Amino acid sequence: MSQQTQLFIVPTPIGNLEDITLRALRVFREVDYILAEDTRTTGNLLKHYEIEKKIFPHHQFNEHRAIENVVERMKTGAVFALVSDAGTPSISDPGFLLVRACIREGIRVECLPGPTAFVPALVNSGIANDHFIFEGFLPHKKGRNTRLTSLACEEKTMIFYESPHRLIKTLNQLAEYFGEDRYACVSRELTKVFEENIRGTLREIIDSFENKMVKGEIVIVVAGKK
């Protein structure tokens, strides 16, 4: 008999609630508890699908001290699902530390396939996607310039995550290190009603966003150096 899975990593919609899978809904109904980056966000998702389940917070500010307790409960037979606010947990979101702890303790972990923001952004960009690197969020301060310098000669397509209030700053820095004529695409509000994909040179994209109020999660796809 195969070992029972006691931690399910469950991707959740990045915008459109119809992107949840039937398997994800079944797992939510069958597990004992759900670990959520934001209990309110996950609570709204569960309410939409008429699922009642005990939700515990599991985010970057408490994951270190929460892991030991969660693992101990799994050892007594409890089954958990881990979710982030949107997309796949541990991809620029909490999750890695818990997965690693479970593996070290011999606890079976199972990750469901599902939404991840950078995949539709990459495909929508029209930029070469046969080889790419995922950078996630650049360091805010320490190491940021070093990282950008190391990426300036990268030949693979590069993918970054960014928040609305830092978008212009990051685009300007990308133009500074990569050149204003480097082709790129900025995607925001993916899968939602107001989804937007702005393509062009970094200079053109900066001009497009410079005097615009930007909302929503953002993915920046940048062509590699030719």
Same domain, 60 and 148: no
- Residue 216's pLDDT is 87
- Cβ-based burial of 117 (10 A; exposed 0-12, middle 13-18, buried ≥19): buried
- Residue 4's pLDDT is 92
183-188 vs 196-201, strand pairing mode: antiparallel
- Residue 213's pLDDT is 87
- Residue 57's pLDDT is 96
Same domain, 127 and 210: yes
Domain count, the chain: 2
Same domain, 18 and 80: yes
For residue 58, report the phi and psi dihedrals to the nearest 5 degrees: -145, 95
Taking only the tens of pLDDT, the chain with its 226 residues reads 358 999 999 999 999 999 999 999 999 999 999 999 999 999 999 999 999 999 999 998 998 999 999 999 999 999 999 999 999 999 999 999 999 999 999 999 999 999 999 999 999 999 999 999 999 999 988 899 999 999 999 999 999 999 999 999 999 999 999 999 999 999 999 999 999 999 999 999 999 998 888 988 899 999 999 9
Please give the residue range of the domain that contains residue 30. 5-111
- The beta-strand segments (E) located in the chain are 5-9, 33-36, 54-57, 80-83, 108-111, 132-137, 157-162, 183-188, 196-201, 218-222
Gap between the Cα atoms of 55 and 88, Å rounded = 17
- Residue 1's pLDDT is 35
Same domain, 154 and 171: yes
